[in-house]
Amino acid sequence: MVETRHLLRALTPDVCVAPQLTPETMAELAAMGFKAVINNRPDFEEGPGQPTSAQVEAAARAAGLAYAFLPVQPGYQSPAEIARMAELLAQLPRPLVAFCRSGTRSGKLYAAAVARPAG
């Protein structure tokens, strides 16, 4: 079993991205000091074996983590989705981790959210 810390890629000192996280990893994230999780992966993207947002959210909240579900497609994130990510980054406690299938989509969404003009 791979430890969660080896899956994380730091974008800033208080924002990381990761590939698919499971309900079982939420307590480990909390023990590592994380305060929030953003799930950018649509439910059932890879079929019924993928944990649902509801399953991850329940485990995150049980571990004391704030949780947000912002599912986005791999190839395109709309201006509204980018704006919502910017809102979540401003509102959620840090450090936080965002995840998707590989971590790449969450990283691109983060970059677009912080690059957008204020207002």
Q: 58-108: per-residue pLDDT in tens?
A: 999 999 999 999 999 988 999 999 999 999 999 999 999 999 999 999 999
Grade residue 1 by pLDDT with cuts at 50, 70 and 90.
Answer: very low
Mean pLDDT of the chain: 93
Q: What is the pLDDT of residues 14-42, one digit of tens each?
A: 999 999 999 999 999 999 999 999 999 99
What pLDDT was estimated at residue 5? 77
Q: How many Cα atoms are found within 13 Å in the side-chain-facing hemisphere of 12?
A: 11
Q: Which domains, and CATH codes, for the chain?
A: 4-66+76-115 (3.90.190.10)
96 strand-pairing partners: 15, 36
